[in-house]
Chain A
Amino acid sequence: MPTIHAMAETAPILEARNVSLRFGGVRALTEVSFAIRQGEVFSIIGPNGAGKTSMVNCISGRYRPTEGGIWFDGSEITRVPVRRRAALGIGRTFQNLALFGHMSVLDNIMVGRHHLLRRGFLPGMVWWLGGAQREEIAHRREVEEIIDFLEIQHVRKAPAGTLSYGLRKRVELARAVALRPKLILLDEPMAGMNLEEKEDMARFILDLNEEWGMTVLMIEHDMGVVMDISHRVMVLDFGRKIAEGAPDAVLADPHVKRAYLGEADEVVRDVDEPVTA
């Protein structure tokens, strides 16, 4: 269990201020504010349709908030295009697997290094000139490091589309890690996994956080995992923030119970049980 003392004073790496998002008459998010501290594992939970993925999309730049703003690493990024955010240090994985299916695992991960490859078109054509070869070797070494870390050595040459679901999730994580992000956004990293795969994934996320120093923002439905590895948890319901704080405190919150369990007269469900997508 990671500790969060000495983290309280660090400046937030990401801050959302009064973020609202509307699609026509639908309010996906309503004045959501929160801050993620440097070095934290921060989880967003909530029932289906609560706006969790919308929030992540606002941070990654796929959606632009209708109102409010987002600050990353001290500067406002509300209007910064998606690809610039990747270069600034925000990496992400997707809820529905988004690997390049026909490309090998290695190539998938190399794409993640795109913004770090300085080599332009012409120097690349004569690749032994201008240090292109040295650069390539350095990148390959780092990619191999990531592959080792995520234990996908045995499939590195395989086309990504042929892998099992759990492995594909891992490759997708590897691709996001290859960006060398300061903040990594994980949209349901464990959805559809069996217990063993979930345990592996939880370990990878903790290692990324503790050893690689990445701040993690995670959406996850498996309450057991969320409670185990998160430093802090935010709960969304119908696009509004209804709770934020340490995992056990959030779980005990009456608002949260109501959002998850419904009113008292409805069928009661165990909170530890994963809410299916």
Chain B
Amino acid sequence: MDSALLLQLTLNGLIVGALYGVVAMSFVLIYKASQVVNFAQGEFLLVGAWVCWWLLTDWQLPFWLGFLVTLAFMTAFGMILQVVVLRPLIGEPVISVIMATIGLGIFFQALMKWIFGVFAKPFPPIFHAEQVSVLGLQVQSVYLLSLGISLLIMLGFAWFFTLSKHGLAMRATAFDQQVAQSLGISVPRVFAMSWAISAMVSALAGVVVGVVNGVSSALSFYGIKVFPAVILGGLDSVVGAVLGGLIVGLLENWAQYLDANWLNWGNMYGVAPFYALILILLIKPYGLFGTKNIERV
């Protein structure tokens, strides 16, 4: 037993898990508000990270400014995507909408490779101290930033959904679009807003991961990792998404520990969440916090 390593891995799990949670939340946001399963969620991270990288390297903007410009750009990006691509698909079969989002994912994946190349590129250094010591553990300062940002976003979501006018409208729309309309809520605007916020928040996560690992198409893999997280938490639960994200993050790291010490099967880090995904679908298909669809006949 190597308890220091286990502790370090647990901490990594929490930090990465919080990021998964953030991306999962923005995935759930779109699903809840507009009932679209967005397979292009990972590409939001990718586009956001590349845009930020471009602003910081080619335009030499300071980090905070480039970051803010990126967020503003991604807000507009999400909104335009919804209005141009997904709004015409309202009322079409679910499978068509899913195909459209898969198409979007492939398109942006390729576009980014075309513009920025296929190799991972590092962000210019942001912090003077690469690592700081927390409770005797070496933690990259970027990871601390990432944890802080994740927590801020989660608090922001909580505020948005419980206290703001638009959050309330969004919950109402998620529940029943007809009724929401009869109460004076603009459903198209709610849809556009959910995509805008989702893209913006995902980009935030994308930039953080990019700063840690460099920007490359591997970023879009977060979009796939989101699935175990949201299935675990329940597709339509924001709280569930956060918890699901954290659990997936921990699971990955503990699986790796288990694997490295005893099993030696290899690559458990990448695979474990998907074993969990299958298990959950077998045992508790609505997830921990999801709404059960009870059909009374």
Binding site for B on A (CB under 8 A): 60-62, 81-83, 86-87, 91-92, 94, 98, 100-103, 107, 110-112, 114-115, 117, 119, 121, 124-125, 127, 175, 179
Give A127's nearest chain B residue, CB to CB.
B163
Q: Is the CB of A179 within 8 A of B175?
A: no
The answer on a CB contact under 8 Å between B168 and A110 is yes
Q: Which of B111-119, B122-130, B178-186 lies on the face that meets chain A? A: B178-186
Interchain CA distance A127-B168 in the complex, whole Å? 16
Give the interface size class of chain B. 20 to 34
Given A98-B176, A102-B175, the answer on whether A86 and B168 have CB atoms closer than 8 Å is no
Taking a contact as CB atoms under 8 Å apart, the answer to whether A115 and B164 are in contact is: no
Give the distance in Å from the alpha carbon of A61 to the alpha carbon of B182 in the complex.
Answer: 8
**Interface on B for A, CB 8 Å cutoff?**
162-166, 168-169, 171-172, 175-176, 178-187
Instruction: Verify B164–A100 contact, CB threshold 8 A.
Output: no
Q: A83-B185, A83-B186, A87-B184 are contacts. A94–B179 as well, Cβ < 8 Å?
A: yes
Tell me, in angstroms, the Cα distance from A87 to B184 when the chains sit together: 6
The 6 A-B residue pairs with the shortest CB-CB distance in the complex, in nearest-first order = A86-B184, A115-B184, A82-B181, A98-B179, A117-B165, A100-B175
Find chain A residues with CB under 8 A from B185 CB: 83, 111, 114-115
Q: Whole-angstrom distance from the CB of A172 to the nearest CB of chain B? A: 9
- List residues of chain B with CB within 8 A of the CB of A94: 179, 182
Dominant secondary structure at the B interface: helix
Nearest-Cβ distance from residue B241 to partner chain A, whole angstroms: 16
Tell whether, in the assembled complex, residue A101 and residue B184 are in contact, meaning their CB atoms are under 8 Å apart. Answer: no
B187 A83 Cβ-Cβ under 8 A = yes
Beta-carbon contact of A103 and B171 below 8 Å: yes
- Residues in A with CB closer than 8 Å to B181 are 61, 81-83, 86
Partner of A83, one of B162, B163, B184: B184
Q: Distance in Å from the Cβ of A142 to the closest Cβ of chain B?
A: 15
The 6 sampled A-B contact pairs (Cβ below 8 Å) are A83-B182, A86-B183, A91-B182, A98-B179, A107-B162, A111-B168
The docked-state distance in angstroms from the alpha carbon of A102 to that of B171 is: 9
Nearest Cβ in chain A — how far from B296, in angstroms? 13
State the Cβ distance, B175 to closest chain A Cβ, in Å.
4
For residue A112, which residue of chain B has the nearest CB? B183
Contacts A121-B164, A124-B165 hold; do A114 and B184 have CB atoms under 8 A apart? Answer: yes
B187's nearest neighbour on chain A, judged by CB, is: A83
List the A side residues contacting B179 at CB < 8 Å: 94, 98, 100
CB distance from A98 to the nearest CB of B (A): 4
Checking B163, B165, B171, B183 against A175 with a beta-carbon cut-off of 8 angstroms, the contacting residue is B183
In the complex, chain A residues whose CB is within 8 Å of the CB of B163: 127
CB-based contact B183/A114 at 8 Å? yes
Q: What B residues does A117 contact at CB under 8 A? A: 165
Q: Tell me, rounded to whole Å, the shortest Cβ–Cβ distance linking B224 to chain A.
A: 29
**Closest CB in chain B relative to A19 CB, distance in Å:** 19
* Candidates A61, A83, A98, A114; contact of B168 at CB < 8 Å: A114
The answer to whether B169 and A111 touch across the interface, beta carbons within 8 angstroms, is yes
Enumerate chain A residues within 8 angstroms of B171, measured Cβ to Cβ.
100, 102-103, 107
Shortest distance from the beta carbon of B160 to any chain A beta carbon, whole Å: 9
Asked whether A62 lies within 8 Å of B182 as measured between CB atoms, the reply is yes
CB distance from A96 to the nearest CB of B (A): 11
Q: Are B165 and A114 neighbours in the complex by a CB distance under 8 Å?
A: yes
**A111 with B183: CB separation less than 8 A:** yes
- Are A100 and B165 neighbours in the complex by a CB distance under 8 Å? no
- How far in angstroms is the closest Cβ of chain A from B32? 11
* The residue from A61, A86, A119 contacting B165, defined by CB atoms under 8 A apart: A119
Closest residue on chain B to residue A84 by CB atoms: B184
Which of A61, A102, A114, A121 has the most chain B CB within a 10 Å cutoff? A114
Contact A86 B164 (CB under 8 A): no
Establish whether residues B166 and A111, one from each chain, have CB atoms under 8 Å apart when the complex forms. no
Which A residues are in CB contact (< 8 Å) with B187?
83
With a CB–CB cut-off of 8 A, which chain B residues contact A103? 171-172, 175
Please report the C-alpha to C-alpha distance between residue A208 and residue B162 in the assembled complex, in whole angstroms.
29
Shortest CB distance A109–B (Å):
10
Contact B183 A107 (CB under 8 A): no
Which of B179, B182, B185 gathers most chain A CB within 10 Å?
Answer: B182
**Cβ–Cβ < 8 Å partners of A91 in chain B:** 182-183
Q: How far is the CB of B142 from chain A (nearest CB, A)?
A: 26
User: Assuming the A-B contacts A98-B179, A100-B175, A102-B175, are A107 and B184 also in contact, with contact meaning beta carbons closer than 8 angstroms in the complex?
Assistant: no
| A86 (CB) vs chain B CBs: closest residue | B184
